[in-house]
Chain A
Amino acid sequence: EAQVTQNPRYLITVTGKKLTVTCSQNMNHEYMSWYRQDPGLGLRQIYYSMNVEVTDKGDVPEGYKVSRKEKRNFPLILESPSPNQTSLYFCASSSRGEKGTQYFGPGTRLLVL
């Protein structure tokens, strides 16, 4: 089954404790992206990747890092999480020629205390 998976689905952590949210897709998609969703602010893009080893900032990249060492994986790294990073996070992927059609993961709900 074609899908985007994220882990963990739920995470409670404390300020400053490094964490990684994994994202994996099995559709051989070149493009991958991370969004965060907050009440009243909608979905905002954090980082995106056009292909392996090609990443760039989205609208709200501060406090986040990403890497794209393999085509299928696009982890989101929070080196020193802060409470304002408490949010619902989604990973998405699409093929190069049809990036209007994106497939989203199930989401990761993060609470930073």
Chain B
Amino acid sequence: DAKTTQPPSMDCAEGRAANLPCNHSTISGNEYVYWYRQIHSQGPQYIIHGLKNNETNEMASLIITEDRKSSTLILPHATLRDTAVYYCIVRLQSNFGNEKLTFGTGTRLTIIP
């Protein structure tokens, strides 16, 4: 799986859009970008994933650059409950073997009231 680089921490004002960057310059053509978050010792929560097109769901939007070497997770209207550690993971969608998720250190996002 390709390696990812994320800033260790970010702050965002409540109600504003939170934009979390991730660099994955060694991503291969069939690897997806996944985002998870972990809210204070709770189980990691799947947010969104994408291959090359931008994706949006009820939680967030994912913008992937045309060269696929970086991406941005966007939380459009951040609330205090979005304070968490956000993990960017690059991997195959499924390789029909062990599907261990490798979580890096992530970005600790703090939403400021």
**Which residues of chain B have C-beta atoms less than 8 A from A103's C-beta?**
46
**Which residues of chain B have C-beta atoms less than 8 A from A101's C-beta?**
34, 46, 49
Choose, from B21-29, B36-44, B63-71, the stretch at the interface: B36-44
- Cβ–Cβ contact A98 & B103, under 8 A: no
Q: Closest Cβ of chain A: how far from B75's Cβ, in Å?
A: 19
Q: Within the assembled complex, what's the spacing in Å between the Cα atoms of A97 and B105?
A: 27
Chain B interface residue number, banded = 20 to 34
* Interface of B (DSSP majority class): loop
- Cβ–Cβ contact A48 & B42, under 8 A: no
Taking the complex as formed, is A112 at the interface, i.e. its CB lies under 8 A from any CB of chain B?
no
Taking the complex as formed, is A33 at the interface, i.e. its CB lies under 8 A from any CB of chain B?
yes
Which one of B44, B91, B99 has the greatest number of beta carbons of chain A within 10 Å? B99
Q: What total of A-B pairs shows CB separation below 8 Å?
A: 65
Q: Closest Cβ of chain A: how far from B81's Cβ, in Å?
A: 16
- Cβ–Cβ contact A88 & B41, under 8 A: yes
Interface string of A93-108 (1 = CB under 8 A from B): 0101111111111110
Within 8 A of A (CB), among B60-113: 89, 91-96, 98-101, 103-105
Which one of B46, B91, B103, B105 has the greatest number of beta carbons of chain A within 10 Å? B46
Q: Within the assembled complex, what's the spacing in Å between the Cα atoms of A109 and B103?
A: 19
**A-B contact list, 23 entries, CB within 8 Å:** A33-B100, A42-B104, A45-B98, A48-B99, A50-B98, A58-B98, A58-B100, A88-B41, A90-B43, A92-B44, A92-B101, A96-B96, A99-B94, A100-B49, A100-B89, A100-B91, A100-B92, A100-B99, A101-B49, A102-B101, A104-B45, A107-B43, A109-B41
